[in-house]
Amino acid sequence: MNRVEAASLSIAVRFVVASFCAAGVSTAVANDGATPASIDGMPAWVATLSTTRWTELPTPVFDAWVRANLVPSGGYYGSNPIGSVRDAYSNPLFDPAGKTYYLAGGGHNDGSLNAVFKFDAATLSYGIAVPPTPPSAYPPAFNTTQAAIVYPSGATTGWFQSAATLSDPRDLPYAAPFPARRAMHAYSGMTFRDGKISFYYQSTVGDADVVNRTWTNLRQQTYGAQLNAISPSLGSANDYLQDGLAAATDPVSGKGWVSLNSGSAGINARSHLMRIEPSTQTIERLVGAPNVSWGSPSMAFIGRELYGVTSRQSPGNPNVSLANGGFHFDTSVDAPTAKAFAIVGDVPSWSNGSPRQETVPVFSDDVSIWMWNYVSEPDALYRIDVTPTGGSGTGADPQLLRSTRIALDASGIPPVALTYKLDYIREWGVVMILPSATTKWWAIKVDRRLGDAIFANGFEVP
């Protein structure tokens, strides 16, 4: 047992004993050999995790599960219709209240499968949240993954239509069971509120209603027109949110904080975050955020403070990307002012242009921001102390936030597909990851004290 494991075990034992004593529960252990299904609402599998290595979980393999359970089972277009739901520029979205991950993606040349899948983190089981549009409902013109959805009469909205809106007899043989958005990359450009996943990427936006197992609120190119009305330098009437889109769900209001990335649609003046009301798809507020122009941010909340870590090309080596800066602001304020920060100390780097990594995904344990440089060093975490050590927070004088690299034990975690953010399940103290469509889920128990000087007094907790 190494020192971190020993410290974690000591901390965990004393925490459990103290909690039981405070509750008036006997700490005597019944010698009956029974293992509880859960402890304090945590699934039993959490107790099997380590704080020093990633652990493979006993879950189905996503690709195999879908092949065995999807209806219709085939007929979808693309190079990898099932696998692309996870692997093609798409990050699972987490619902913290339901402890459920949602997977939706594909698009481009990768796949036309537009189902929304769900993964219950407590029971480690998959399900289908929103069924796919069956290939039998593809109109003839939709003959490749990137073809336009145009019906024989010429009717088109940008999404698959049902008999409720298809009136021409020529179109009715291709009526879908319900209106549905086509498969598209998702990046991390989704938010979750009231049983609905709001998708912000590309021209057709809308909500996957995972309660009623359908799609709602489908619209075309709504954000470009709004941006153009605010400032022509930010968007055009025919514009939409593009590659690398990132979003975070406000933990109080449920509104979406959505990145407006520099270079999206060829416009290079987009260093902003948008606050969007998902039910009306209305941009309520633009926040100028220094360092967004460095690249697609990975975002996480500490309380109401939203932090975004961005990447940039290394000034000394164009073949290297660095996660060395970002922004933060208080979302409880109606018109927040963002502050820029630079990351000092240990800074993650990776190959610029890597097909498996575009940014360093982050998560928050409510105290610190953590980074995972998953391609080049999957068995390590970086912890950012969000207390500035200098700087005023302007673009020219960013706050200085110190990062510490924490080496983990070798885990054998398989290669990880494009990933843009991670989620900390605070009630369990756990971070989970689905490396790719052909793997099981993996997890690690995150001790927020890792990296602190907690070993000075015989492993005592300060």
Q: Count the residues in the chain.
A: 462
Residue 140 inside a domain? The answer is: no
User: Does a cis peptide bond (omega within 30 degrees of 0) precede residue 60?
Assistant: no
Rounded Cα distance, 351 and 318, in Å: 9
Q: Is the backbone of residue 187 left (phi > 0), alpha (psi -120 to 50) or beta?
A: left
What does the pLDDT read at residue 3?
37
pTM of the model: 0.89
In order along its 462 residues, the chain shows pLDDT tens digits of 443 344 344 334 333 333 333 333 332 333 333 334 666 679 999 999 999 999 999 999 999 999 999 999 999 999 999 999 999 999 999 999 999 999 999 999 999 999 999 999 999 999 999 999 999 999 999 999 999 999 999 999 999 999 999 999 999 999 999 999 999 999 999 999 999 999 998 889 999 999 999 999 999 988 888 988 887 777 776 677 878 889 999 999 999 999 987 665 555 556 789 999 999 999 999 998 776 656 689 999 999 999 999 988 899 899 999 999 999 999 999 999 999 999 999 999 999 989 999 999 999 999 999 999 999 999 999 999 999 999 999 989 999 999 999 999 999 999 999 999 999 999 999 999 999 999 999 999 997 665 443 323 332 232
Asked if 416 and 354 touch (Cβ cutoff 8 Å), the reply is no
Rounded Cα distance, 223 and 239, in Å: 7
Residue 44 inside a domain? The answer is: yes
Rounded Cα distance, 163 and 165, in Å: 5
Residue 458 inside a domain? The answer is: no
Residue 154 inside a domain? The answer is: no
Q: What is the DSSP annotation of 155-178?
A: ---SSB-BTTT--STTTGGG-BSS
Residue 144 inside a domain? The answer is: no
Rounded Cα distance, 186 and 201, in Å: 6
Q: How many domains does the chain have?
A: 1
Q: Which domain holds residue 191?
A: 3-28+37-132+180-445
Residue 240 inside a domain? The answer is: yes
Q: Which of 247, 345, 258, 337 is nearest to 290 (CA)?
A: 337
3-class state of residue 284 by DSSP = strand
> How many CA atoms are closer than 13 Å to the CA of 289, on its beta-carbon side?
35
Q: Maximum Cα–Cα distance for the chain, whole Å? A: 80
* Distances, alpha carbon 376 to alpha carbons 197, 315, 350, 357, 415, in Å: 32, 20, 6, 10, 10
Question: CA angle 105-109-111, nearest 5°?
Answer: 40
Residue with tokens 């293992």: 35
* Distances, alpha carbon 121 to alpha carbons 94, 100, 103, 308, 425, in Å: 10, 6, 13, 25, 10
Helix, strand, coil percent values for the chain (each to nearest 5): 15, 30, 55
Residue 173 inside a domain? The answer is: no
Residue 169 inside a domain? The answer is: no
DSSP 133: P
Asked if 161 and 170 touch (Cβ cutoff 8 Å), the reply is no
Asked if 429 and 40 touch (Cβ cutoff 8 Å), the reply is no
Rounded Cα distance, 377 and 173, in Å: 52
How many distinct helices (H) and strands (E) make up the chain?
Answer: 4, 27
> How many CA atoms are closer than 13 Å to the CA of 336, on its beta-carbon side?
23
What is the CATH number for 93? 2.120.10.80
Asked if 279 and 217 touch (Cβ cutoff 8 Å), the reply is yes
Rounded Cα distance, 349 and 351, in Å: 7
